[in-house]
Structure 1
Amino acid sequence: MTENNSIYANLEMLGQQVKGYDNPEEAVLERVPNPHKGTNYVARFTAPEFTSLCPVTGQPDFAHLVIDYIPGEFLVESKSLKIFLTSFRNHGAFHEDCTIYIGKRLVELLNPVWFRIGGYWYPRGGIPIDVFWQSGTPPEGTWIPEQGVQTYRGRG
């Protein structure tokens, strides 16, 4: 394992008390160099308590997000990702927009070898909405586990 604190020198959030953001457009995402650049491996972030607001009714929407990516040069700094995701709490957007926006922001920041996001949204009005997006095809031979989130079954 590489012990090199200099790769963290430019981070502004890690180890600091940071005020959240009022909306995702203002939220800052940070990245660090990938210490295993050139190795195809999957990094996964799971956010089982993601929240945003319905843009029409203002009612809360809830989702279980799973973010998988094969890093290229960079890794997303996890504290900045958490703060970015919480910036949606008072943000009104449809499920599809939230999910795809998160994916595109991370791809823009990281330029990963491969990326996918699954947004498993809980029902509103009796209909759950699941949203999936990925950037391209993963390299052959890379172990990519299933996301492991079952579709909504209701009572059962």
Structure 2
Amino acid sequence: MSTDVTGLTQLGQATDLPNAPEDAVLERVPQPREGERYLVRFTAPEFTSLCPLTGQPDFAHIMIDYVPKDWLVESKSLKLFLGSFRNHGAFHEDCSVMIGQRLRDLLEPEWLRIGAYWYPRGGIPIDVFWQTGPQPADMWIPDQGVPPYRGRG
């Protein structure tokens, strides 16, 4: 079974990093296992954005879990989207929820959650969690495995 990749504009092409998340093109492909339920996890342990007031970099470990319905996110477009935050000034909460909402709107998944584990600046780590609804009771959804801050590594 092959995946339909018609319409993709970034995979297999030289693609520049978008200047801002709003400029990033998230792409999707049809879910190839119709009727099969499973969890997809993306881990971005080196996510960066900028503080909107000071311009200093903020760092996070982002975990994205979703149960697809009809679509999968194309991973190169997701990497470019996440990378576009490097020069984007926004608070941790805004970045985290924006990622979740863009993926929800693109994929219309059965379920999606974001765990955004932000490294401390000024001594306070901020962790942000967002999901589309209750966790499916009949799915194995592993813990995201990111411990509370104790000098994360």
Q: What is the TM-score of this pair, normalised by structure 1?
A: 0.94
2:136 corresponds in structure 1 to: 139
SS of 2:95 mapped into structure 1: helix
Matched-pair contact (CA < 8 Å) for 1:68–1:115 = yes
1:106 corresponds in structure 2 to: 103
Distance in 2, matches of 1:36 and 1:3, equals 10
Tell me the CA shift for residue 39 of structure 1. Answer: 1.7
SS of 1:80 mapped into structure 2: helix
1:81 corresponds in structure 2 to: 78
1:4-153 matched pairs, under 5 angstroms? 4=3, 7-153=4-150
SS of 2:20 mapped into structure 1: coil
Matched-pair contact (CA < 8 Å) for 1:50–1:86 = yes
Distance in 1, matches of 2:73 and 2:103, equals 8
* Percent of aligned positions that are identical: 66
SS of 1:8 mapped into structure 2: coil
Tell me the CA shift for residue 96 of structure 1. Answer: 0.3
Tell me the CA shift for residue 73 of structure 1. Answer: 0.3
**Structure 2: which 5+ residue stretches go unaligned?**
none
Q: Deviations over 1:89-113 (max 9, x none)?
A: 0000000000000000000000000
Equivalent residue letter for 1:49: E
Count of paired positions: 152
Q: Deviations over 1:101-127 (max 9, x none)?
A: 000000000000000000000001000
SS of 1:79 mapped into structure 2: helix
Which 4+ runs in 1 deviate beyond 2 A?
A: none
Equivalent residue letter for 1:19: D
1:3 corresponds in structure 2 to: 2
